[in-house]
Structure 1
Amino acid sequence: MKLVPFVIIVFLSSFVFFTACDQVNKEGFTGVRVIDNSYSPPVVRIYEGGKVRFFNAGNNPHNVIAVGEGWGSYEEIPKNDYLDVTFEKEGLYKYLCSFHASPEGDWGMVGSVVVGDIDYEDYSNFQKADAVESFSGEIRFVPTDYDTIQDAVNSSNPGDMILVSPGIYYEEVIVNVPSLTIRGVDRNKTIVDGEFERANGFLVAGVDGVVIENITARNALLNGFYWATVEGYRGSYLTAYNNGDYGIYAFDAVDGVLEHSYASGSPDAGFYIGQCYPCDAVINNVISENNGLGYSGTNSGGDLYIINSIFRNNKGGIAPNTLDSELLPPERESYIIGNLIENNNNLKAPAWDAQYISLGNGLVIAGGNNNYIKNNVIANHDVFGLVISAALDDNYWPAHGNIIEENLIINSGKADIAVSGVSNLRNCFEKNQFDTSIPPGIQLFSNCNFNILPMGSDLHGLWNLIARVINANTGNYEKGNWKEFDAPDPQPNMPIMKIVQNKDYNFEE
């Protein structure tokens, strides 16, 4: 008789799992943030039949209307509301805000939707094929030769380097040339400042092979450093702080490296890689603190490595997750190895509602599959050290096939390890050091060598999550103001620049 509930649970698990998998990519959308006065990102790529949601986060009147008026609406999108547009046919769809752009879409608040795998030219005089693999030999100096970084970008060719001297540059840099390297002379003194007026510090949209290194971005309304819809990117020795969404952000971008970088004071996440499969990306040797989340990755994975890094004092630590609000669900095949994840209980960290939900958790796999979690130290969390949970959005996304081994997980308030929600199957645990788990005996019964029972029927964590969601929806929770955090301590310069600084070299000679 005791087997009956177990059989029912397994049956329901299978039913929910196959129902969710059958709806992959049917309910998702790609988001474009509408702010004052730009679209972010200004170019997005979707599949035929895909949906774009234009969400108005600005204070000014905004709308979305096609160049040529073939789609969209002149009607103003109310603040905190959205307009959904579905694109059925392959092509390049340009659009504008009629309040803040020319009718032809040649200047002002404009954007593009790329539908399908097409070649296109947009916001650039270059084609995808113009990306190069080697340095051109041309160095462009800011501010000696060009007053602004944007002026230098606009004058550059693929393969050039832009070398930026110490100073505060009040601008948003739109990189529209492939294969550029933009390098600061001093990471801590070469600063792009958005003054809480401009959308991003650096935006690389639709051009491949762009490298940004040894520079700081702060006080942007959205993101410090942002790569969108690109193949090939690198961010090294970057500092991003007090930016209004993400610190260092890659979306719909593949073949990338984010390394030796620091992010703080972002209400969403310090680091983010999302909507890519396979991502072919590495986050290595970074520090993320005082953010909503240390790392977030929605619908990403496939040769995605998060390694040798520190995630501390955020509201929540690391959160790979699945949502219907982006393409390519579910999240899967990420490798989280050799990280220090500690004290992610920071009530004063900035956060949006979704990030508050992760408060007090070290590593949350929400609806993720076949991830590999190894050799991490996860310590001092008020709720769970590591929790594997299903994710509920438009669809129900179980978490299954995750391998958790050789981690040290200690000093957690509710449990060091937890698995929660119905239909989480084939998650296994091997050689972890920990004290408590929910359900009990998780490493014994869900061992990677012999998985006796699918430990996914406990609902403790799920009820905790639901309670957080209710509280988040009221907005009644403590959080800091992302605009008011102190500047971080000086961060290490990239080695070659440190050598040059010590020699007091004059770059402009």
Structure 2
Amino acid sequence: MTKRHITYLACAAALCGSLLGAAPATATHRTLVVHPGESIQKAVNAAEPGDTVLVLAGTYHESVKVTTPDLTLRGVGQETVLQPAKKAKKAKKAMPQKAAAQKSCAEMGNGICVVGTKSRPVENVTIARMTVTGFSRIGVMAVGAANLNVHGVAAVKNGQWGIAEERSVHSAYRYNVARNNGDAGLFLANSVTTEKGATDTDGTVVEHNLLEKNRIGVTVRRLRNLTVSDNSVSGNCAGVFVVGDENKPKAGHIVVADNQVVKNNKYCKKTARLSFLQGSGIVLTGTEDTLVTGNKVTGNSGKSPLSGGVVVFKSFVGATSDKNRITRNKLSGNAPADLVNQEAAKHGNSFKDNTCKKSKPAGLC
């Protein structure tokens, strides 16, 4: 754990304390304490709306599914560690198709799952102050959540995403550490599996997170009305990805502000959706009316089609990027250029008041 990790988690501890102090529990709100060797899931199942499940320091080999609204699942810091359960012996008979379609959080390879339904989202859940590591897919996954609060979580070395959500609104991700995950440290999407137009997040925020050595620091895919600000993003193949496609409505009305996006120069091979990645700072593709402002973007260098400091990229699927504003950013040492605009002038993307030396085409600095 580096000093920066400790700083982020210490800030989360202070935030947690202030939040708890601001709203003292009523007599009907309980704290269920989980000791090492006990089941977190059992305590979560026993909890009622308004309760807190407090997980003491130790390593817990299990996955946890949360469906109760107004529930807080909280550790005591980095010493509360959630890891996959030990593999059970394979059953002799194959799992029936219906059962396979209803896999548990653990069977899906996830650590913590916050799950609502399409008609009834799970509301006001808090996940705080713990380490979630070693899961084959996702550290913390939310599906169908509203007013979710994730802070002080270290999502480390998970196979796909560190922390992710889909079909969720008005979430807050603050003071988390996402490091060495197989794809994005933080991944937010309208839907993971369905191709459809962007949805409104009702003001989701991604703030003050440390995103290091993932494939992508943070990915925002097919969403609208969201803020990514004051994050430290470094050592990834790409820093910040804001992605739309040909579906309507288009992704956009997003703010990317005041982030430190530095040396995202790790090499990641191509996938079915993207070319190889290396040296991408902030990338907009298939988006509209997005503001990129006040960011410090330095030392992002590579030869990928998406390389550069701030890149407005012509989408692989032909979706244009329109009326985005790139302003007041400080850029240096990015290659092939600090600012890259691959869209035609008719799409109305503007570059103003940025501090930089080189752009493609020339004249954007």
2:309 alignment partner in structure 1: 385
Cα deviation for residue 134 of structure 1 reads 7.3
Partner of 2:324: 402
| Change in CA separation of 1:210 and 1:183 when aligned onto 2, cut-off 3 Å | same
The TM-score with structure 2 as length reference comes to: 0.78
Structure 1 residue 357: Cα displacement: 3.1
* Corresponding position: 1:310 with 2:227: no
Does residue 115 of structure 2 align to residue 205 of structure 1? yes
Distance 1:215 1:355, change over 3 A: farther
Aligned residues: 303
- Give the Cα–Cα distance (whole angstroms) in 1 for the partners of residues 78 and 110 of structure 2: 18
Deviation at 1:385, TM superposition (A): 0.6
Equivalent of 1:427 in 326, 349, 352: 349
2:125, 2:147 within 8 Å by CA — same for their partners in 1?
Answer: yes
Contact preservation (8 Å) 1:332, 1:370: yes
Choose from 362, 370, 374 the match for 2:289: 370
Structure 1 residue 196, shift from structure 2 partner: 8.6
For 2:296 and 2:62, the matched residues in 1 are separated by: 39
The separation in 2 between residues aligned to 1:280 and 1:351, in whole angstroms, is 32
Alignment of 1:24-103 (within 5 A): none
Give the match for residue 335 of structure 1.
255
Residues 49-108 of structure 1 show CA distances to partners (whole Å, capped at 9, x for unaligned) of: xxxxxxxxxxxxxxxxxxxxxxxxxxxxxxxxxxxxxxxxxxxxxxxxxxxxxxxxxxxx
1:272 and 1:442 map into 2 onto residues whose CA distance is 30
Residue 179 (structure 1) aligns with: 70
Distance apart, 1:210 and its partner CA: 0.7
Residue type matched to 1:211 in 2? Answer: T
Shift of 1:256: 1.0
1:424: how far off? 6.1
Q: Is the 8 A contact 2:338 2:359 kept in 1?
A: yes
Q: Does 2:133 correspond to 1:218?
A: yes
- 1:301 to partner: Cα distance: 2.0
Is the CA contact 1:333–1:371 (under 8 Å) kept in the aligned structure 2? yes
1:265–1:350 Cα contact (<8 Å) kept: no
CA distance in 2, matches of 1:356, 1:171: 36
The residue type paired with residue 167 of structure 2 is: D
The higher radius of gyration belongs to 1
Where do 5+ consecutive residues of structure 2 fail to align?
1-23, 88-105, 117-121, 191-198, 302-306
RMSD of the alignment, in Å? 2.2
2:278 aligned to which of 335, 349, 359: 359
CA contact (8 A) 2:61 2:86 kept: no
Q: For the residues of structure 2 that align with 1:159 and 1:426, how far apart are their CA atoms?
A: 48
The whole-number CA distance in structure 2 between the counterparts of 1:317 and 1:195 is 32
SS of the counterpart of 1:442?
coil
3-state DSSP of counterpart to 2:42: helix
Structure 1 partner of 2:221 = 298
- Mapped partners of 2:113, 2:256: distance in 1: 27
Q: How far apart, CA to CA, are the structure 2 residues paired with 1:196 and 1:341?
A: 37
For the 8 Å contact 2:270–2:276, the answer to whether it is kept is no
More displaced 10-residue stretch of structure 1: 337-346 or 197-206: 197-206
Task: Look up the SS of the partner of 1:255 in the other structure.
Answer: coil
Distance 1:140 1:196 in 2: 25
Secondary structure of the structure 2 residue equivalent to 1:204 = strand
